[in-house]
Amino acid sequence: MESKALQPTVLQAREIVKRFGRVVAVDQVSFEVQQGEVLTLLGPSGCGKTTTLRMVAGFERPDGGEIEIQGKLVSSGAKRLHVPPEKRGLGMVFQSYAVWPHMTVYENVAYPLTLRHLGKSEVKQRVLDALDLVGLTGLGDRPSPLLSGGQQQRVALARALVYSPDILLLDEPLSNLDAKLRNSMRVELKRLQERVNVTVLFVTHDQIEAMSLSTRLAVMNRGRIEQLGTPQDIYERPQTAFVEDFIGRVIRFRGTVVDTSWKGLLVEIDNVGARLTVEGGEPLAPGQRVLVAIRPEDLVLEGRGENTLTCAVEKVLYLGSESEIVVRSGSELFTLTVPRAKATEVGDSIDLTLPPEHLRVWPDAESLPAGDSAINGHAVEAISASSVKTSSGAH
Amino acid sequence: MASPTVALEAPATSRAIARGTVLMTILLSVVAFIVIAPLAMMLLSSVQLSPPGRTPVYGLDGWVRATTDPAIANAFWNSITLSLMRELIALVIGVGLAWLIARTDLPGKNVLEFVFWIAFFLPPLPVAIGWILLLDGKVGLLNQWIAMLPFMVDSDGVARAAIFNIYSVGGIIWVHLTTSLGVKVLLLAPAFRNLDAALEEASRSCGASTIGTLIRIVVPVMAPAILVSSVLGMIRALEAFEIELLLGVPIGYYVFSTKIRDLVQFEPPQYAPASALGVAFLAILLALVWLQRRYLAGKVYRTVGGRGFSTRDTQLGRWRWPVFSGVVFLALLVTLVPVAVLVMGTFMRAFGYFNIPNPWTMQHWERVLRDPMLVRSFQNTLIVGFGSAAIGVIFYSVIAYVIVKTRFWGRALMDLLSWLPWAIPGVLMGLALLWTVFRTPFLLPLYGTVWLLIIALVIKSMPLGVQLTKSVLLQLGDELEEASRIAGGNWVTTYRRVVLPLLAPTLVTVGVVGFMSAARDISTIVLLGSSQSRTLALLSLDFAYGGQLERGTVVSVLTVAMVVIAAFIARLFGGKIGITHN
């Protein structure tokens, strides 16, 4: 969005492929990371994000495609070129932190520097600076098994940053921390990244981490990147049903297009007995099966005539500042959050309006279960291609 | 998605990968050769009727004799019934002991655990000699004391027959109790310790008593570990040798291992029936090992430490001190008592005769210590001990690394092969190696040297050594190595600065255990040792079996001292042996 083009590219992955036996773990993934940005690979487990990161790190060899770091080719499937991890000039923080238990904090952080044959005083200065940076001042002599999870995390960060690597790779670094610590570490990670202005490639399955830390993020599914953009782009303009479902909450209905005669669509919703108008969207033919989706926060809790559903409240979960309610329309159940002021009780009837401008419509592939199916325009090809691959792999 | 590092893949070219694969393939071939070749030789020798070195004549006479000779059949069944009895007794007492040591507030349980640890490593022969001195029908101290009791003399003033006789099946089982209990505590105490106390507490809160909880919750949950330890104990029991030789053979009670020795030492040696008996026995053991591997692979209970995991001790309450006295009594009975009697025996002119003039003497020590044979045996023990330990540590750790940390195509096969010697009783291993040496001209010079003993012991200790190293390597997350790689260290640097320091305590333990096994071993090397390559343990067997019990006691004390010192060193390095959780 911003001055992307002005920043030099630090990392470039071009159509990289990784197969484990017959399973295609990473399928022609391409992206580039610019100087100083945080690019996040986000997706459910098994989507190929960690494998992608490990190919960048050099722990896995791509079966196809190329990876370039600082303009230098480090991996190439075609040329059978593979630069080992220690020669790539990268820093990495592992999910388990991998702090070496037989070394003190100081020795852990000094390790990369001694491998680079730096003078003793310089090693010392840089280690102390790095420990200051991550907030471990004075803990250098501590044996690393005596550290808490949060402290180990900081040691791992200091160890990865101490030699000013070209890129910092983060492999789910926050997933082993408890919820409270995770929140504060997230803020601190952001602060740290801005301060040292390091380029980061970040892997996570947690969308809050991804949204709050990333300059840009790539949502991955089944070994492919479904969408790459700024967090705002991804949330507000999802390009596939999968992305919309994976990022944030969404309420979805199945239905059939009944009219396309004006600028929007008219969709007959299954099991509800209502028709919704949708603005814009892809050109679709009448009779086509579709998914109609809306973010719960875009729902209006009042009747407005058009696109209004009358729902029965089935369950109320009181959460303090707000309540979560389960409502029924026809035979469809869905959950939404209402503020305390709009408190309802079981058995109440409420009117919900689905504003046409907030509705999105995706072609529905009946064979695929809703939620997993990511179908839209050009993405249809990708999905059918990959499902063909999976089924041929099974035989 | 975390996949094992391709460790030997450090350099960038595919040629380097090929080099790693070639090296690992060579390693696999070596392991396969030293494990499979002797077994194949044994199979061959069971159908070869002519003595080694002559034109071979083949036939099934050996098998016919092994299956029809009632003495051989007897030995076969004796082995099995004896092992079952030993295992059953050890199981009942051992599970109780392990639970008391691992899960209750028994006083001094760490020391007690160590005593049983020592018991496991005590060489069987010295223990057997100690018990002979105490329970021999004629001169046994205990029998002498009992004979002094008034009711032991009948109305005519003639002494009744001694109550205890160590030369019996009961005596053999009794002497074995030291090792049997040791192995149970050694294997089960760590497994019991890993049990989440919440399981016990849940049972208590439902209204079950301590004993009820033990029987209905703890033992069933621990069943897989108990089963594994039983199969393991059974395998070890089946291969027992020296106690059966010393206590069984004089009364004509043979087990399979002593029978094989008998056949081989017959003039001329009966290799064919001995090998046939060995092959048949091996089939049973392989079945047991297969069973154990199956359970080790999937079913050993794994309790993962983490939040909410607690190991609060069960309160024994008013039973605490009575139970403590019982356990201390048992612990001392199987360790200190036989060893103390053994030490006393070294100072007696003629053992058991207190009413002769000057019953105490230093002459056995003086004679033995001045004996060049002893010096030679002592040197041999050190060479064999350190040699097999040093070679073993390097060999086992490389095998374990390849199995755990690489993607080598043959690693499953390597794993299996490294396990196979577990099923091979020491006497069979010796017999098989003896045949291999006889039939392979370029190996013949090894015969009668300490090198042959070292090779035998390295093979014999391979399963334990590889398993111990593997279990530590498995806990060593790949990320520890990857962190070093990404920080700029190549494979060699990473191995030297990260893997090796973390592995070091285990390697020391493997080395010390290897040394101990070598110093105490008799069954594996008894058919291989010559008067030139004899170790202390073999020397004490020769003395004890040859009727020179007093001299045998002196050498036995030296063996015990060596093993106990080594056990202390191993403990110092914190290495522990248990059922591996993987």
Residue B483's pLDDT band (cuts 50, 70, 90): very high
Render B374-424 in DSSP notation, one character per residue: HHHHHHHHHHHHHHHHHHHHHHHHHHHHHHHH---TTHHHHHHHHHGGGGS
Residue A204's pLDDT band (cuts 50, 70, 90): very high
Nearest to A17 by CA among A44, A51, A57, A45: A51
pLDDT score at A111: 93
Percent of chain A exceeding pLDDT 90 equals 35
Contact A111/B497, CB-based, under 8 Å? yes
What the block records as the tokens of B415 is 């794993």
Contact B479/A101, CB-based, under 8 Å? no
- Site from A45, A59, A171 to mutate, B interface, most B CB atoms within 10 angstroms: A59
Cα(A63)–Cα(A23) distance, integer angstroms = 12
**For the residues A269-288, what does the mean pLDDT come to?**
80
Cα(B272)–Cα(B296) distance, integer angstroms = 35
As a whole number, the mean pLDDT across chain B is 82
- Site from B480, B486, B497 to mutate, A interface, most A CB atoms within 10 angstroms: B486
Strand bridging mode A274-278 / A289-294: unpaired
Is 90 exceeded by the pLDDT of residue A122?
A: yes
H/E element holding A218?
Answer: strand A216-221
More confident of the two residues B215 and B445 = B445
Residue B3's pLDDT band (cuts 50, 70, 90): very low
Of B479, B487, B502, the CB nearest to A101: B502
**For the residues B197-215, what does the mean pLDDT come to?**
77
Is 50 exceeded by the pLDDT of residue B306?
A: no
Is 90 exceeded by the pLDDT of residue A55?
A: yes
Task: Dump pLDDT digits (tens) for B217-261.
Answer: 777 878 877 887 888 788 888 888 989 998 999 899 999 889 988
Is 70 exceeded by the pLDDT of residue B159?
A: no
- Count of other CB atoms within 10 angstroms of residue B578: 17
Residue B8's pLDDT band (cuts 50, 70, 90): very low
Contact A80/B14, CB-based, under 8 Å? yes
- Contact list in A for residue B12 (CB cut-off 8 A) is 81-84, 87
Q: Please report the domains of chain B, with CATH numbers, ordered by start residue.
A: 1-41+347-582 (1.10.3720.10), 76-253+312-339 (1.10.3720.10)
Residue B427's pLDDT band (cuts 50, 70, 90): confident
Write down the domain spans for chain A.
4-241, 300-353
pLDDT score at A356: 87
A143 CB-near residues (< 8 Å, 6+ apart): A104
Q: Of the CATH numbers 3.30.110.70, 3.30.1300.10, 3.30.1540.10, 3.40.50.300, which one belongs to the domain with range A4-241?
A: 3.40.50.300
Cα(B1)–Cα(B4) distance, integer angstroms = 10
| A300-353 shares the fold of A4-241 | no
Q: Are B28 and B416 in contact (CB under 8 A)?
A: no
Dihedral angle sign, alpha carbons of residues B96, B102, B103, B108: positive
Task: Dump pLDDT digits (tens) for B71-98.
Answer: 888 998 999 999 999 999 999 999 899 8
Which range is least confidently modeled, B157-166, B305-314, B365-374?
B305-314
Is 80 exceeded by the pLDDT of residue A319?
A: yes
Is 60 exceeded by the pLDDT of residue A86?
A: yes
Residue A13's pLDDT band (cuts 50, 70, 90): very high
Q: Does B308 touch chain A (CB under 8 A)?
A: no
- Contact list in B for residue A112 (CB cut-off 8 A) is 487-488
- Among the ranges A119-128, B51-60, B348-357, B415-424, which has the highest mean pLDDT value? A119-128
Is 80 exceeded by the pLDDT of residue A342?
A: no
- Among the ranges A364-368, B111-115, B201-205, which has the highest mean pLDDT value? B111-115
Task: Dump pLDDT digits (tens) for B267-279.
Answer: 788 888 888 888 8
CA distance A83 to chain B (A): 6
Residue A322's pLDDT band (cuts 50, 70, 90): confident
Cα(A343)–Cα(A337) distance, integer angstroms = 10
pLDDT score at A44: 92
Contact B486/A95, CB-based, under 8 Å? no
Of B11, B480, B485, the CB nearest to A85: B485
Is 50 exceeded by the pLDDT of residue B564?
A: yes
In degrees and rounded to multiples of 5, residue B439 shows phi and psi of -90, -10
Of B5, B483, B490, the CB nearest to A94: B483
Task: Dump pLDDT digits (tens) for B104-115.
Answer: 888 888 889 889
Which range is least confidently modeled, A49-58, A309-318, B61-70, B164-173?
B61-70
Is 70 exceeded by the pLDDT of residue B10?
A: no
Is 70 exceeded by the pLDDT of residue B299?
A: no
Nearest to B30 by CA among B328, B334, B378, B402: B402
Measured torsion, CA atoms of residues A259, A261, A263, A266, in degrees rounded to the nearest 10: -10
**For the residues A214-220, what does the mean pLDDT come to?**
94
Task: Dump pLDDT digits (tens) for A229-262.
Answer: 999 999 988 998 899 889 888 888 888 888 877 6
CA distance B570 to chain A (A): 19
**Cα atoms in the 13 Å half-sphere on the side-chain side of A279:** 9
pLDDT score at B59: 81
Contact A100/B502, CB-based, under 8 Å? yes
Is 80 exceeded by the pLDDT of residue A343?
A: no
pLDDT score at A391: 32
Give me the interface pTM, i.e. the ipTM.
0.76
As a whole number, the mean pLDDT across chain A is 84
Cα(A171)–Cα(B479) distance, integer angstroms = 11
CATH architecture for residues A300-353: Beta Barrel (2.40)
CA distance A239 to chain B (A): 28
Instruction: Provide the β-strand partners of residue A33.
Output: A11
